[in-house]
């Protein structure tokens, strides 16, 4: 049955299996269930998942790490970490009975089913510290590329930039059309994926996203795009990388 407008997807679908191991709960794609122990061992020690000994990961909050299991399963794990002022008080512990990583897994799996450009979800992990107190992580198939913010600082070809900006605009527009509202849409949450000589725009970090049974409303689109414009203004206040035409294209409703 289709969800009612505004209803969240609370749990992943049949492609994922729930495993409880002590205080840890995993939702793993069926293809990874037999590697659950290996995933836990690496996932609980982020430095072991990286090349080298640095514990500083990728992404806006340095919380993402490659997770190499062998036999072609190159994954990416992103640990739930707080931003804003809260990060100075508590970086990784969350309060709640509906863990964000599990919500993100469910939303991402359904978004992908709807044909949206999102990373392929492979699992979520929650470590319960006490009732309603947890740490968590979200696992996807590895994607090679960089954030849109990194891309515009790297590629100075106007034609290539314009092409990638249009790809990102189309990805956002399709998300709105298919009922996905990305509550934290910014330049760090748009990934420019590279495959050979081609590019693709991918929406990432859906832990606060909401899915609707039909297209999101015009008001919500405007709110989403205003959030994106604020991100551009904050990261590029002098317009060094984003000219007015690029901003207009990317934030077109």
The tens digit of pLDDT for each residue in 130-160 reads: 999 998 999 999 988 999 999 999 988 999 9
Q: So what's the pLDDT on residue 89?
A: 53
Q: So what's the pLDDT on residue 66?
A: 85
- Mean pLDDT, all residues of the chain: 85
Pairing of strands 64-68, 121-130: unpaired
The tens digit of pLDDT for each residue in 159-168 reads: 999 999 999 9
pLDDT cut 70: percent of the chain above it: 82
Looking at per-residue pLDDT, the higher value among 87 and 160 belongs to: 160
Tell the burial category of 129 from Cβ atoms under 10 Å away from its Cβ (0-12, 13-18, 19+): exposed
197-222 average pLDDT score: 93
Q: So what's the pLDDT on residue 217?
A: 95
Looking at per-residue pLDDT, the higher value among 187 and 57 belongs to: 187
Can you tell me the distance from the alpha carbon of 220 to that of 172, in angstroms, rounded to the nearest whole number? 12
Least confident of 2-6, 64-68, 74-78, 232-236: 2-6
Asked if residues 203 and 171 have their Cβ atoms less than 8 Å apart, the reply is yes
Closest listed residue to residue 136, CA positions, set 80, 203, 194, 74? 80
Separation in Å, CA 105 to CA 137, 231, 251? 10, 25, 27
* pTM listed for this prediction: 0.86
């Amino acid at each position: 049955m289709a969800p009612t407008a505004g209803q969240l997807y609370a749990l992943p679908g049949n492609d994922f299996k729930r495993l409880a191991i002590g205080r840890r709960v995993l939702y793993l794609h069926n293809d990874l269930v037999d590697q659950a122990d290996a995933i836990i061992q690496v996932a609980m020690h982020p430095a072991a998942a990286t090349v080298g000994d640095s514990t500083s990961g990728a992404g806006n909050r340095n919380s993402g790490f490659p997770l190499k299991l062998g036999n072609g399963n190159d994954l990416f794990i992103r640990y739930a970490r707080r931003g804003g002022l809260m990060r100075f008080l508590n970086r990784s512990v969350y309060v709640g009975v509906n863990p964000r990583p599990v919500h993100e897994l469910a939303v991402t799996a359904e978004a992908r089913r709807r044909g949206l450009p999102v990373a392929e979800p492979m699992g979520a992990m929650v470590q319960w510290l006490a009732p309603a107190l947890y740490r968590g992580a979200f696992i996807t198939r590895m994607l090679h590329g960089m954030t849109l913010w990194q891309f515009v600082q790297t590629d100075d070809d106007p034609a290539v930039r314009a092409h990638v900006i249009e790809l990102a605009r189309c990805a956002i527009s399709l998300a709105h059309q298919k009922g996905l509202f990305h509550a934290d849409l910014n330049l760090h949450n748009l990934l420019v994926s590279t495959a050979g000589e081609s590019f693709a725009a991918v929406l990432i970090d859906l832990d606060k996203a909401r899915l609707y049974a039909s297209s999101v409303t015009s008001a919500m689109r405007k709110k989403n795009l205003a959030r994106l414009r604020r991100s551009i203004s904050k990261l590029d206040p002098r317009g060094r990388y984003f000219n007015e035409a690029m901003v207009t294209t990317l934030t077109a409703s």
